[in-house]
Amino acid sequence: MVIGLLQFELVIHGAESLKDKRRVVRSVKDRLHRQHLVAVAEVGSQELLNIAVMGLACVGSEGGRVGEILDKITAKLRALGDAELGEVSRQIVETGNLRPSGEHGGIDEPALAEEMLRHFRKSEGA
């Protein structure tokens, strides 16, 4: 499993109220989620009128594909009309793959069964 993380700052010129800021933030969140099936949230600077710090997560099975999605999203953010893209931080995390049920990597099943049997006999007083 590969997780792509993008943290970015939006500079919202002309925002005179939190309502103006929320309109831009909601529009960006909805558009990115709809077009790229990613999770997006405002993660910082909520009290500022003209700055929004956003976090985005994308999950996939291939690092190259996740990277492409993050590249496309960054390009879209650079082209926004309502806001200017500020600082951007990107990270791709690869995790280990889960094995299907029944596959016990590295576990010696006969030894485990023997140990469990010894423990059972000991607890039964045999």
Instruction: Kindly report the three-state secondary structure assignment for every residue of 4-71.
Output: EEEEEEEECCCCCCHHHHHHHHHHHHHHHHHHHCCEEEEEECCCCCCEEEEEEEEEECCHHHHHHHHH
Residue 76: per-residue pLDDT: 94
Residue 81: per-residue pLDDT: 87
Domain carrying residue 27: 2-96
Whole-angstrom distance, CA of residue 2 vs CA of residue 92: 7
Which amino acid belongs to residue 113? A
Q: Partners of 54 in the beta sheet?
A: 8, 42
Give burial (CB, 10 Å; 0-12/13-18/19+) of 99. Answer: exposed
Average pLDDT, 10 consecutive residues per value, the chain (126 residues): 93 89 93 94 89 94 91 94 92 77 63 75 68
Asked if the structure places residue 47 within a domain, the reply is: yes
Residue 82: per-residue pLDDT: 87
Asked if the structure places residue 27 within a domain, the reply is: yes
Asked if the structure places residue 70 within a domain, the reply is: yes
Asked if the structure places residue 43 within a domain, the reply is: yes
Asked if the structure places residue 117 within a domain, the reply is: no
Which amino acid belongs to residue 35? Q
Asked if the structure places residue 109 within a domain, the reply is: no
Residue 109: per-residue pLDDT: 74
Asked if the structure places residue 105 within a domain, the reply is: no
The CATH number linked to 58 is: 3.30.70.1120
- Structural domains in the chain (count): 1
Asked if the structure places residue 79 within a domain, the reply is: yes
